Structure 1
Amino acid sequence: MSEMQPEPSFAAVQITFSQGWQVYDKILQYDYMDHQQVYGILRSHYQSLTEPFDLLELGCGDASQSVPALQGSLIRSYRGVDLSAVALQLAEAQVSRLQVPVLLQVSELLDYLQSCRDRFDQILVAFAVHHLSAKQKQAFWQAAGQCLQPGGQLLLADVFRLPNESRGQYLDRYQQLMQGQWSAMTATEQEFINTHIRQSDFPETDAEMQAWARAAGFTAIDCLYFGNADTQKIWRCSRPEGNKRAGLE
């Protein structure tokens, strides 16, 4: 069972990342959250696809990480969703490099999934679902399944708790990880990040997330990556094959 959680404030998450854009860039620069390996694996996945695909990226930010992973693939169209209008303005220049039809939309990811009537071959969401509460994550899996074509895949890169680890224990462990390994971050920057994750991060265990994914009709769940810090993972979650429905409108 997932422990009781407060409802996250998505506005607070957006404000925090808007204020901390330079801190986030520093995390990317020093690869503290395994972005190089994560997006390298995502690139391998997308390059391996042999049929053209329509992709939805949730929490896309400025798309500076995902676009290089998609370049050279058979991507047919790209749709990016993020809370930050500023980030999406930056994303415009990035996604133009894909040379495919693009739509960028300001929205919270769960609201978007629940209102979207289009169907995609691929959904990508990286380091965003852990901001949802347990109830919202269950709704996320159900809505994501409805937005995928039969045989479609959702790639999830995110942080996870260890088995039997409480949220409080996870947060303490993550803080110790930062203090021990994130040496390029100043004390002020580390405190900024620690405040953010304690307010906004609600990671689940593998067992909880897999149960919700399977209940939503995902029949194959493969772990493509498990980070050295026992936090970051990539899942590839597949829907069963069947007759495809109408795609993008």
Structure 2
Amino acid sequence: MSARVVITAGASGIGLAMAKAFRARGDRVWVTDVDASALSVVPQGILASRVDAADDGEMSGFFKEISDVWGGIDVLCANAGIKGPTAAIEDMDLAEWRDCLAVNLDGAMLAAKHAARMMKAQGAGVMTFTSSTAGLYGFPYRAPYAAAKWAVIGLMKTVAMELGPFGIRANAICPGSVNGPRIDRVFEAEAAAKGMTPEEVRAGYAAGTALGRLSDAEDIANMAVFLASDAARMVSGQVMTVDGFTINPDPKV
């Protein structure tokens, strides 16, 4: 029987790779995003809605629609996130800090909040949160992002404890640097902050992993599919790092 899968920020990048991977195994998939242009080109067979993951009212309305259309949800991938500002801590803008935490942390909490009500009623479900290796090691010049992603892990572990008795599993995936437009923008911003070129920053990140390369979005999607499968039925409260094994979280070249 196909699963009912909801993915926040699922119109591009890691979220879209997750959507395609779940759809490929025959699941019903519904993605949200704030980018209307990206939503307009989501592959056929995937439902798509424009929703601000950090807006409780919009998320409430979206999950009501899920209830009306699907009657429940089996898998939640709380994937919404933004890179936030790149700046030294003494130069950090409070408004930018709060915007970053709102999407990365509040968005994860709201997704879990609304999905939990449905999953508890049906006595089963899987929640997968997208954190980051920044949530394990910290991240120079990216304090709000690292703080939010660290908090996502604490949120996940708490949710796993609360909801485990109701047959609900929760885990987090920590990607490292993932090839794509988003990491390219990160490299550009960090290069400017450090007085380097984007190519030098990229080379440093790759050299900071044991495998010597960056991940692809499909690597993260494959982990999400595994965590939602029966093969992972005893996996809950865990942090699954998909990064080629980071051996130097602040690489220099």
Q: Which has the higher contact order (CA 8 A, sep 6+)?
A: 1
TM-score by length of 2: 0.45
Q: Which has the higher strand share?
A: 1
Higher fraction of helix: 2
Using the size of structure 1 for normalisation, the TM-score is: 0.46
